[in-house]
Amino acid sequence: MAIAQTAIPGGQQAVALAVFVLLGSLTIMTPIAVYFPMGARAAASLENLKAWLSGHHAVIMTVLLLVLGAKLVGDAISGFGS
């Protein structure tokens, strides 16, 4: 919606949307991109990544929520000046 509300031409909006979708898909595409070329050899690496993510999920979520919270607070503060 934010892309559609910009004053840029339609072609540039399409590029911006494509970049947004690509970045949003990286968490899914990266393990797939590792698995297909490496096959069974990738299983150990992906299992290590899974173990690390499982072991640090609380920290990852805390940082993610702090960043989102800071953005919401920043948006709210900037809205007071308008």
Low-confidence ranges of the chain (pLDDT < 50): none
**What's residue 82's pLDDT?**
59
8 within 8 A of 16, measured Cβ to Cβ: yes
- Choose among 42, 25, 22: nearest CA to 34: 42
At CA 56, angle to CA 30 and CA 68, rounded to 5?
75
**What's residue 79's pLDDT?**
81
Q: Is the pTM of this model over 0.75?
A: no
9 within 8 A of 17, measured Cβ to Cβ: no
